[in-house]
């Protein structure tokens, strides 16, 4: 255990918000994925389930647009949530379905939301509410520049 401290490597992108953001986002995602594994959900699947629970009767096209998930990619997610008995489709339109959580899906969504909230507190709990507000406003400004 000589524990030689490793000389840190330098790089210009270390000072880039884009890079640091990406690193933090990846680490937080992995942490959340671990925590959600006990519910059998990935972070993305959890957001899909939660938004259906909060907005019953919406179509998967609208849900996809709200989460920036393409139709082609959300189709198998919806199929998986249905297979697992978490949501059900109720044909209304002939070419689309109204989506609803089952009782099991609602219970899972509530637990997943608790997990997400707990991780949010764990990672960002040290920030003041002032800082949190500023953080969100900066994210919003950055997104509007894209």
Partner DNA sequence: TATTGTTATACTCTATAACTATA
Partner DNA sequence: TATAGTTATAGAGTATAACAATA
Residues that bind a copy of itself (CB under 8 A): 6, 8-13, 15-29, 31-32, 43, 47, 50-51, 54-55, 58, 62-63, 65-66, 68, 113, 116-117, 119-120, 122-127, 131-132, 134-136, 138-143, 145-146
Residue 93 vs 130, nearer CB to DNA: 93
Q: Map residues 27-66 to x or -, x wherever contact with DNA holds by CB under 7 A.
A: ---x--x--------xxxx-------------xxxx-x--
DSSP-based three-state secondary structure for 84: coil
Question: What does the angle CA 62 – CA 66 – CA 68 come to, to the nearest 5 degrees?
Answer: 110
Phi then psi for residue 55, to 5 deg, are -130, 65
Phi then psi for residue 95, to 5 deg, are -120, -5
Q: What is each CA distance from 71 to 14, 78, 101, 105, in whole angstroms?
A: 35, 10, 20, 22
Residue numbers at the binding site for DNA (CB under 7 A): 26, 30, 33, 42-45, 59-62, 64, 68-73, 75-76, 78-79, 93-97
């Amino acid at each position: 255990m000589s524990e030689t401290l490793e000389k840190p490597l330098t790089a210009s992108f270390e000072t880039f918000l884009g890079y640091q953001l990406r690193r933090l986002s990846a680490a937080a995602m992995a942490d959340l994925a671990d925590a959600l594994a006990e519910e059998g959900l990935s972070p993305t699947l959890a957001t899909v389930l939660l938004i259906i629970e909060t907005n019953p009767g919406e179509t998967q096209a609208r849900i996809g647009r709200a989460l920036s998930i393409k139709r082609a990619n959300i189709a198998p997610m919806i199929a998986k949530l249905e297979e697992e008995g978490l949501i059900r489709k109720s044909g209304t339109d002939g070419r689309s379905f109204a989506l609803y959580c089952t009782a099991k899906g609602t219970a899972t969504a509530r637990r997943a939301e608790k997990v997400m909230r707990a991780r949010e507190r764990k990672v960002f709990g040290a920030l003041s509410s002032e800082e949190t507000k500023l953080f969100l406003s900066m994210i919003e400004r950055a997104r509007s520049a894209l």
